[in-house]
Chain A
Amino acid sequence: MADMSGQASGEDHKLRPFYCELNVLSRPDGSAIVTQGETAAIAGVYGPIEVKPNKIHIEKATVEGIYRPKSGLPCVSDRLCETTLQNTFEAAVLTSQYPRTLISISVQEMQDSGGLLACAINAGCLALMNSGLSMKFLVAAVHCMINKTGEVILDPDNKQLKDSCASLMFAFDNVDKNIVSSSTHGRFTEAQYQEALLRCRTASTEIFQLYRDMVKKYAPTMG
């Protein structure tokens, strides 16, 4: 249970402590739990498994993203998160390697204290790494907000989010550091968007480094 980043959460330009563990679930082919500050998500990957005939793709795998809220059934407002998760993972997995199969990634919300979607993407990506499926690239998601004075604050928690006028989430690939996903709430200007994007991109390297450490740590068990 080591704090992998070892950074204080108080400073604005730093990410909250990032902690993760792989192989937390026994049934799925790959699983991971990620906590970023108080926010936590757990992800499980099944795949490649049999696919329903109506969803089958002849030339590639079907990727299914499932998002489960903390309690109850997913409602309309969760669907946008779900499609973002699904499409992000679909881009990351080397789908042409597994034609006519299904790769199912479920993410369960454990606790939301800001930046849940980013946490969910990171958890899903780690679970995919853990499952041993071939991937085109890794993704790292970073959440940030713009406060009322127009400053960009990285990885805010719930308390800080109360003072926000916009919140943005970006997911980057580890090859070119290009933008895989972008999801925003609230109003902001183009300049603020660019600033947030750059800050998040810089921060994403930190997460990729953590991924690397994770692989090092789990390399013996991952086979």
Chain B
Amino acid sequence: MPTDNRRIQGPEISTPYCVFGSSTENEDEDGCFKSTDPLSSTRKDGRALLEHRKIYMKTGVVSQAKGSAYIELNNTKVICSVFDPREIPNRVEYSQHGELFCVLKFAPFSCTTRRSHQQDAEEKELSLNLKRALEPAVCRHEFPNFQVDIYVLILESDGGSLAASITCAGLALADAHVPMYDLVTAASLGVAGDVLMKDPSEEEEKLCSQHFERSNLNHGLITVSLMGAHTQITQVWQTGSMTTTCVSESLTHLIQSCEETYPIAQRCLVKSVVDTISKKKVPEQS
């Protein structure tokens, strides 16, 4: 293995201690859904199945960036910054449309197991999905031959990382005054058998993607991003297998979630505008 001489290295092999762990707390992985009636049951964190987590959003968190945003869904924490358009590097031919350059990264300490410093396959896939979700919303013809850099860092991941990243990046783009048709918001949903869970946590995501593999039951995750005012879906990302009826049912729920998030994002942007105006006034008076 080539050694990374640009970082301080620990020993070659190290294992998370949880692997060897024994705890007095009993970990029954999926007991909470099976026995009771799925529609009335509550989840581990006390939410109903179709209840979204509370969202906190803030723009203008990174002073050096053109636009930036921070979003928090309980334990999922994502920060994003967007920079001024710059010429696309190493490009010979002229491109009619501007480009979005998206890099999504998990912080090394963001997940239960440590992540590497280098971008791995999952991060690359998520970056691509992020790019696809944002592209339709941006007026790319307004900056031909230029690219806008969008950097997303997931500080802590507890499910719905992609959805949070898309919403966060959408806000940051708006904060950076990048011309857009509409604001993009996203939501995720987990399917495990007959149970649909809005905005699943990490544990629930695992359950949806693993537990039902042996049977033919519906299982999987769907993330949808939506332009709220146009009610146009910009991207759907689905894993697992589910029937078409299940997918269309999920989509209705997801669109509803996205529409619920939309006014929160709008309010957040309005607040940042009001704040900038009131801030600007103060030094002029003094």
Binding site for B on A (CB under 8 A): 72-76
- Give chain B's interface secondary structure class: loop
Majority-rule SS of A interface residues: loop
CA distance A75 to B6 in the complex (A): 6
In the assembled complex, B214 has its CB within 8 A of some CB on chain A: no
The verdict on B19 contacting chain A, using a C-beta distance below 8 Å, is: no
Number of chain B residues whose Cβ lies closer than 8 Å to a Cβ of chain A: 4
Residue of B nearest to A78 (CB): B5
Q: Can you name 9 A-B pairs with beta carbons within 8 Å?
A: A72-B5, A73-B5, A74-B5, A75-B5, A75-B6, A76-B5, A76-B6, A76-B7, A76-B8
From residue B88, how far is it (CB to closest CB) to chain A in Å?
16
A75 / chain B contacts, CB cutoff of 8 Å: 5-6
Interface residues of B in 260-278 (CB under 8 A from A): none
Q: Which residue of A lies closest to B7 (CB)?
A: A76
Binding site for A on B (CB under 8 A): 5-8
Across chains A and B, which 9 residue pairs bring their CB atoms closest together, nearest first?
A75-B5, A76-B8, A73-B5, A76-B7, A76-B6, A76-B5, A74-B5, A75-B6, A72-B5
In the docked arrangement, what's the CA distance between A160 and B7, Å? 31
Residue of A nearest to B5 (CB): A75
Contacts of B5 in A (CB 8 A): 72-76
Separation of A117 and B238 alpha carbons in the complex (Å): 57
Expressed in whole angstroms, the minimum distance between the Cβ of B225 and any Cβ of chain A is 35
A74 to B4 alpha-carbon distance, docked (Å):
11
- A73 and B6 alpha carbons, distance in the complex (Å): 10
A72 nearest in chain B by CB position: B5
Q: Name A73's closest neighbour in chain B (CB-CB).
A: B5
Cβ of B7: which chain A residues have Cβ within 8 Å of it? Answer: 76
Closest to A75 in B: B5
**Complex Cα distance A73/B5, Å?**
8
Given contacts A75-B5, A75-B6, 7 further A-B contacts (CB under 8 A): A72-B5, A73-B5, A74-B5, A76-B5, A76-B6, A76-B7, A76-B8
Least Cβ–Cβ distance between A80 and chain B, in angstroms: 12
Chain A nearest Cβ from B230, distance in angstroms: 41
Residues from chain B with a CB closer than 8 A to the CB of A74 are 5
CA of A76 to CA of B6, assembled, Å: 5
Q: How far is the CB of A71 from chain B (nearest CB, A)?
A: 13
> A102: shortest Cβ distance to chain B, in Å?
21
CA distance A75 to B7 in the complex (A): 8
Contacts of A72 in B (CB 8 A): 5
Q: How far apart sit A75 and B3, CA to CA, in the bound complex (Å)?
A: 10
Q: How far is the CA of A73 from the CA of B7 in the complex (A)?
A: 13
- Taken together as a complex, chains A and B put the C-alpha atoms of A146 and B57 apart, in Å, by 53
Residues of A within 8 A of B6 (CB): 75-76
Give CA–CA (A72, B3) in the complex, Å: 12
Give complex CA distance A72, B7 in Å. 15
A76 to B7, CA, bound (A): 6
* A72 CA to B6 CA, complexed, in Å: 13
Give Cα A75 to B5, complex, Å.
Answer: 5
Cα–Cα, bound, A74→B5 (Å): 7
Q: Kindly state the separation between the CA atoms of A156 and B7 in the bound complex, as whole angstroms.
A: 30
